[in-house]
Amino acid sequence: MAEKLSAVKGMNDILPAGVPRKEVLPRNTTWVWFDEVVRRVMQRYGYQYIVTPVVEPTQLFVRGLGEVTDIVEKEMYSFTDSMNGDALTLRPEATAGIVRAVVEHNALYNGPLRVWTTGPMFRHERPQKGRYRQFHQLDVEALGYPGPDVDVELILMGRALWRELGLVAGEHYRLDINTLGEPEERRAHRDALIAHFEKHADKLDADAKNRLHTNPLRILDTKNAAMQPVVESAPKLIDFLGAESRAHFDAVCRMLDAAGQPYRINPRLVRGMDYYNRTVFEWVTDQLGSQGTICGGGRYDGLIAQMGGKAAPAIGFGLGIERLLLLLEELGLQGPSQAPDAYCVVASDAALTPAVALVEALRGQGVAVLMGGGSSMKAQLKKADASGARFALILGDDELAQGTVTVKPLRDGGGAQSQRPLAGAAQWAASLQS
């Protein structure tokens, strides 16, 4: 027997419902429901679907995310193309690829653009519950919009998603916001941070010392409890903001207040990519242990020009799908059942051909039907019940002789067992749907 192969550590299969799994992962039925909710919300807000490649030039992420970010330094899956020597990387996030596509195809020529996408991302980090080396992300971007109203639009889009999914504000999630100002404001703050942390160098851990002169803002995001006092006493970026940055952030706060959306201004919220400026935000939960952020994003007004395009403002957010779906499952919020409407029980080989014609006629009317066969009627009826179907459609010798099918209710509220004509399935198909 050949050796059994396994998936790469931290890269998981999303299996059909009922299949045993070693990993704690969301059910595929929850994925289907989530996808339907996302599509509804995106359509409501006027965002269009976009698809970009999974593999991009390594330099795209080095230039876009920043050379000294954790993602670029430690987490990217990069390799050399054996055919031509190109340096390539499996995408660790979606924003840089979307911006590259917008610049390459001059997609803002006719005006601003609202887009969204979903798909796999790759980061080489320690696998744990809700955090994997291959993970899936919902990514939403508004490109070419400078105003605080679009910042608020994206934040409230997140709220619309949570509401549709059944999450309760305050109980299941909260909103943190901050502003990172403009580059020159951050430079002044950066100098003040370096001076502050240099005075307390004996309190810094190894990561903080490595970041001190390359990316001191990231020190504020440390999870090291021993460093919290020195971080809490560090200079606040908001004290370095100019009038324009303050006005933008104040407008965001006013609009959130007007929309009835509570928030916490978190001066330590910096996000992990170098491209952010002005508004940044995170949706946070206390239900998933240390992995509290379920969605985060912000404004990146300089990235399009940095990628070689004509300067244009932009803002977006990313949402880790596995982490959010685990939260939903832990809370028992898994959406409507994906069970079929009916299960066709085929009692003999002679019934197989008319059964195929029957189920296709019903499917053509929008009825979800599974078809059995290949085992006893008793076994098929057991499978029909286990499928969650509301009805069993039984095709035996008696039914074939009469040109009918027996419709047997399997759930309460299905009414009495009845006979229906095989030839007129389109006329009674609707009675099988809830």
- CATH code of 286's domain: 3.30.930.10
Which two three-digit tokens encode residue 424?
Answer: 């007129």
pLDDT recorded at residue 27: 66
* In the predicted structure, residue 32 carries a pLDDT above the cut 90: no
Region 35-53: mean pLDDT is 95
Residues 400 and 275 in one domain: no
Question: Comparing 23-27, 162-166, 267-271, which segment has the lowest mean pLDDT?
Answer: 23-27
Q: Which one has a higher pLDDT value, 151 or 417?
A: 151
- If one counts every other C-beta atom within 10 angstroms of the C-beta of residue 177, the result is 21
pLDDT recorded at residue 156: 96
Residues 34 and 155 in one domain: yes
Region 129-153: mean pLDDT is 91
pLDDT recorded at residue 290: 58
Q: Which residues contact 225 (CB under 8 A, 6 or more apart)?
A: none
**Residue ranges with strand state E in 40-168:** 48-49, 55-57, 77-80, 87-90, 113-122, 134-143
pLDDT recorded at residue 138: 96
Question: Comparing 44-48, 220-224, 390-394, which segment has the lowest mean pLDDT?
Answer: 220-224
**For the chain, what percent of residues have pLDDT higher than 90?**
38
Which of 279, 309, 330 represents a domain boundary (last residue)?
330
Residue 3 lies in a domain: no
Residues 131 and 40 in one domain: yes
pLDDT recorded at residue 139: 96
* In the predicted structure, residue 280 carries a pLDDT above the cut 90: yes
Which of 274, 304, 330 represents a domain boundary (last residue)?
330
Which of 330, 359, 382 represents a domain boundary (last residue)?
330
Residues 315 and 374 in one domain: no
pLDDT recorded at residue 67: 65
Residue 390 lies in a domain: yes
What pTM value is reported for the model?
0.81
pLDDT recorded at residue 19: 58
The domain tally of the chain equals 2
Region 324-344: mean pLDDT is 83
Region 408-429: mean pLDDT is 86
Residues 78 and 133 in one domain: yes
* In the predicted structure, residue 251 carries a pLDDT above the cut 90: yes
**Which ranges of 295-350 does DSSP label H, i.e. alpha helix?**
303-306, 321-330
Q: Which one has a higher pLDDT value, 14 or 208?
A: 208
pLDDT recorded at residue 8: 78
Confidence of residue 13 (pLDDT cuts 50, 70, 90): low
Region 158-177: mean pLDDT is 90
pLDDT recorded at residue 283: 94
Mean predicted lDDT score pLDDT of the chain = 86
Contact present, 186 and 180 (Cβ < 8 Å): yes
* 407 burial via Cβ count (<10 Å: 0-12, 13-18, 19+): buried
**For the chain, what percent of residues have pLDDT higher than 70?**
93
* In the predicted structure, residue 291 carries a pLDDT above the cut 60: no
Region 117-145: mean pLDDT is 88
Query: Angle between the 321-330 and 28-45 helix axes, to the nearest 10 degrees?
Result: 110
pLDDT recorded at residue 141: 96
Residues 321 and 374 in one domain: no
Find which of 45-49, 91-95, 270-274 is predicted with most confidence, using mean pLDDT: 45-49
Q: Which residues of 139-174 are buried (b: 16+ CB within 10 A; e: fewer)?
A: bbbbbbbbebebbbbbbbbbbebbebbebeeeebbb
Region 385-398: mean pLDDT is 89
Tell me how far the alpha carbon of residue 274 is from its chain's centroid: 22
Which two three-digit tokens encode residue 365?
Answer: 């009317």
- If one counts every other C-beta atom within 10 angstroms of the C-beta of residue 285, the result is 22
User: What number of H helices and E strands is found in the chain?
Assistant: 15, 16
Confidence of residue 258 (pLDDT cuts 50, 70, 90): very high
pLDDT recorded at residue 110: 92
Q: What is the CATH number of the domain that holds 399?
A: 3.40.50.800
Residues 173 and 81 in one domain: yes
Residues 320 and 348 in one domain: no
Region 41-52: mean pLDDT is 95
Residues 365 and 412 in one domain: yes
pLDDT recorded at residue 214: 79
Contact present, 337 and 403 (Cβ < 8 Å): no
Residues 253 and 380 in one domain: no
Residue 364 lies in a domain: yes
Cα separation, 375 vs 348, in Å, equals: 9
Find which of 75-84, 312-321, 376-385, 422-431 is predicted with most confidence, using mean pLDDT: 312-321
Residue 213 lies in a domain: no
Cα separation, 131 vs 14, in Å, equals: 14
Residue 62 lies in a domain: yes
Region 297-317: mean pLDDT is 92
Residues 135 and 274 in one domain: yes
Q: Residue 424: which domain range?
A: 342-432
Cα separation, 352 vs 380, in Å, equals: 14
pLDDT recorded at residue 20: 56
Residues 355 and 413 in one domain: yes
Region 26-39: mean pLDDT is 83
pLDDT recorded at residue 249: 95
Residue 424 lies in a domain: yes
Residue 115 lies in a domain: yes
Contact present, 157 and 315 (Cβ < 8 Å): no
